[in-house]
């Protein structure tokens, strides 16, 4: 029996849009990178999904709450 190592692709999703992955960056760093384009990502939560067929879906969810 041999062990096979497979690379896991990450797919980032926000508000129905798929955002490209940047190699070597953590999900938090990806969120901070795209917050320049989507300012509401600054306070977004990161939800990490299960790995399905070698792809892990990571979703950014807007924080819900009151201001002030």
Summarised one tens digit per residue, pLDDT across range 25-44 is 999 999 999 999 999 999 99
Instruction: Choose among 64, 67, 59: nearest CA to 27.
Output: 59
* Mean pLDDT, rounded, of the chain: 90
- Is residue 31 within 8 Å of 60, Cβ to Cβ? yes
Q: What pLDDT was estimated at residue 65?
A: 64
- How far is 54 from 9, CA to CA, in rounded Å? 6
In the predicted structure, residue 62 carries a pLDDT above the cut 90? no
Q: What pLDDT was estimated at residue 7?
A: 86
The pTM is what?
Answer: 0.78
- Is residue 27 within 8 Å of 58, Cβ to Cβ? yes
């Amino acid at each position: 029996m041999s062990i096979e190592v497979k690379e896991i692709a990450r797919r980032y999703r926000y508000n129905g849009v798929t955002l490209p992955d940047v190699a070597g960056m953590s999900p938090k760093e990806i969120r901070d990178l795209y917050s320049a384009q989507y300012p509401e990502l600054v306070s977004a939560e990161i939800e990490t999904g299960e790995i399905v067929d070698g792809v892990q879906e990571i979703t950014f969810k807007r924080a819900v709450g009151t201001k002030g």
